[in-house]
Structure 1
Amino acid sequence: MRRLIGVVAELNRFPVKSMAGEELAEAEVRWSGLRGDREYGFVKADSLRRFPWFTGRDHSALLRYRAASAGDYGSAGLPVEVATPDGRRLGVGDPALAKELAAAAGGPVQLIQLSRGTYDSMPVSLVTRATLAVIDAAHGASLDPRRFRINIVIDSAERDIEWRGRSIEFGLDGARLAVVRPIERCAMITIDPDTAGRDASVMRTVARQFGNEVGEYASVLRQGPVRIGDEVYLVDEAAAPVAITSELAR
């Protein structure tokens, strides 16, 4: 049994970890998430910490660098071009970009490419507009959804928390996801995606009124496309952890 719960309103891919991303009309969802999502990331080369990534938490202005695909996915992965805040366009592997980021980091940085994605936790993130509206109301002002860096935004009258532990499907031939657990938020949501200015009140709202959770993480149960305008269905079965593990192992 399937129940219609909404339609896909936005698709976002972030080719470089912590940089601004790109809006897509269609995304290919693989076992490792949206193809090309977070495929690249910069690490602090002299860091031995468990979290070596150079991110907006270190340098807010990193979010003003916009990463976008510069061609089709090929044997070398996703070709990516980065638009810098001052209007230049550089290939993601251009030494000039690494030099600029190293100056901001206060030490050397190194580009890493991982086909499975440089995720902190899980491969796909989703949220509903109903959830975003509740957060706006609690905050007393409209928050730019880009603060939450979500892959799939669903236009639904339901909050995504209602789907946790269940499966959802997209369209007639699309991907199937297991909605697994909430996304715990960090200081990244305090950063304005346009100006890189910080607003600590955003974190206070999310932490105090929503247990520091916005949106849901999902695992991939079936590969397939997701398109803007696709109908989204709640599948009448639980997203059992055993099923998730077996599918992801393929």
Structure 2
Amino acid sequence: MRVEKIYRYPVKGLTAEALEEVALAEGETLPHDRRFALAQGDAPFDETAPSWLQKRHFGCLMANARLALLHSAFDPRIGQLAIRRPGEPPLAASTRTAEGRTAIAAYLAAFLGEEARGEPRFVEAPGHAFTDVARKCVSIIGLASVAALSEKAGMRLDPLRFRANIYVSGGAPWAEFDLLGEEIMLGRARLRVFKRIVRCPATEVNPETAERDAKPPKLLRDHFGHMDLGVYAEVIEGGRVAVGDALEPLRLD
């Protein structure tokens, strides 16, 4: 298999950012992936003692489809986040200051309207990632699997519906499931695949229009007998990964 696309998602639920290469570190996500989130006002998230919480506590596409209409960009060098609604000037604010975080939270809460609960907070906790599973990991999807699902849907499903970090070509549909429990080389990094990704209603949202125009979980269940697409892998030896690199299983037996 070959790496075709690499993405990070600095703010949970907001824009994917494409990368040409990335340096993976042992036991970590992609740098800056799911680094920030909009915690709903009733979310029991404590920045001083962060722990994993389910996505319903944060702004997310599963519950807040209209977030797909926002375009965001994060500059990690200066800590600035820019967010733009269609047809309007962007907000640019610092994620490193209380004033900046308050401005970002207010902007997102106003955009969500009635979907915002209480007084949402724009949150970050050093060393914490707002991932969908409790373990820090990298998500990998075979584009052949997306194509197989698209065929059953009768429409092209944008791979970004599934918000993976790594998209690979080559191999048969669902070939990534054969890697479960295996160690793999991804570029110069070594990872262990530990879980299939169960898909949720977030994948119903078209990333271009923010409309719920397909039902991937139902399509998966009806046509393939499961609700899974892609796999999670933990980094056990860091290294560089670039577009064009190979994904190769390491058969340890």
Tell me which protein shows more strand as a share of its residues: 1
User: In the TM superposition, what are the counterparts of 1:22-171 in structure 2 within 5 Å?
Assistant: 22-30=17-25, 31-48=27-44, 51=54, 52-72=57-77, 79-85=79-85, 86-91=88-93, 93=95, 94=100, 95-103=102-110, 104=112, 105-114=116-125, 115-121=127-133, 122=135, 123-158=137-172, 159-171=175-187
Partner SS state of residue 39, structure 2: strand
Percent of pairs identical after alignment? 27
Deviation of the 1:146 alpha carbon? 0.5
The separation in 2 between residues aligned to 1:92 and 1:183, in whole angstroms, is 33
Instruction: Report the residue type matching 2:237 in the other structure.
Output: R
The separation in 2 between residues aligned to 1:80 and 1:14, in whole angstroms, is 15
User: In the TM superposition, what are the counterparts of 1:223-238 in structure 2 within 5 Å?
Assistant: 223-237=238-252
Task: Quickly say closer, same or farther: Cα 1:141–1:47, change in 2 above 3 A.
Answer: same
> Mind listing any 5+ residue stretches in structure 1 that lack a counterpart?
1-5, 73-77, 239-250
Task: Quickly say closer, same or farther: Cα 1:200–1:157, change in 2 above 3 A.
Answer: closer
Deviation of the 1:47 alpha carbon? 3.4
Larger mean CA deviation between 79-88 and 150-159 belongs to 79-88
Task: Quickly say closer, same or farther: Cα 1:142–1:39, change in 2 above 3 A.
Answer: same
Deviation of the 1:213 alpha carbon? 0.7
- Write the deviation string for residues 29-64 of structure 1: whole angstroms up to 9, x where unpaired: 122111110011110123349532121223212122
The separation in 2 between residues aligned to 1:201 and 1:54, in whole angstroms, is 20
**Residue 15 of structure 1 contacts residue 67 of structure 1 at CA under 8 Å; is this kept in 2?**
no
User: In the TM superposition, what are the counterparts of 1:201-216 in structure 2 within 5 Å?
Assistant: 201-210=215-224, 211-216=226-231
The separation in 2 between residues aligned to 1:229 and 1:80, in whole angstroms, is 30
What RMSD in Å do the two structures reach over aligned CA positions?
A: 2.1
The separation in 2 between residues aligned to 1:70 and 1:28, in whole angstroms, is 17
**Residue 82 of structure 1 contacts residue 91 of structure 1 at CA under 8 Å; is this kept in 2?**
yes
Larger mean CA deviation between 117-126 and 99-108 belongs to 99-108
**Residue 183 of structure 1 contacts residue 216 of structure 1 at CA under 8 Å; is this kept in 2?**
yes
Partner residue in 2 for 1:15: 10
The separation in 2 between residues aligned to 1:60 and 1:41, in whole angstroms, is 15
The separation in 2 between residues aligned to 1:41 and 1:18, in whole angstroms, is 8
- Write the deviation string for residues 157-215 of structure 1: whole angstroms up to 9, x where unpaired: 232112111111123xx111111111011110001111111125333212323411110
The separation in 2 between residues aligned to 1:206 and 1:167, in whole angstroms, is 26
The separation in 2 between residues aligned to 1:120 and 1:220, in whole angstroms, is 17
Partner residue in 1 for 2:205: 191
**Residue 73 of structure 2 contacts residue 82 of structure 2 at CA under 8 Å; is this kept in 1?**
yes
Instruction: Report the residue type matching 2:9 in the other structure.
Output: F
> Mind listing any 5+ residue stretches in structure 2 that lack a counterpart?
46-52
Aligned length: 226
Instruction: Report the residue type matching 2:186 in the other structure.
Output: F
**Residue 8 of structure 1 contacts residue 153 of structure 1 at CA under 8 Å; is this kept in 2?**
yes
Partner SS state of residue 252, structure 2: strand
Which of 171, 176, 180 does residue 190 from structure 2 map onto?
Answer: 176
Deviation of the 1:71 alpha carbon? 4.0
Partner residue in 2 for 1:245: none
TM-score (norm 2): 0.82
Deviation of the 1:113 alpha carbon? 1.1
Partner SS state of residue 237, structure 1: coil
Instruction: Report the residue type matching 1:19 in the other structure.
Output: L
Larger mean CA deviation between 109-118 and 42-51 belongs to 42-51
Partner SS state of residue 34, structure 1: coil
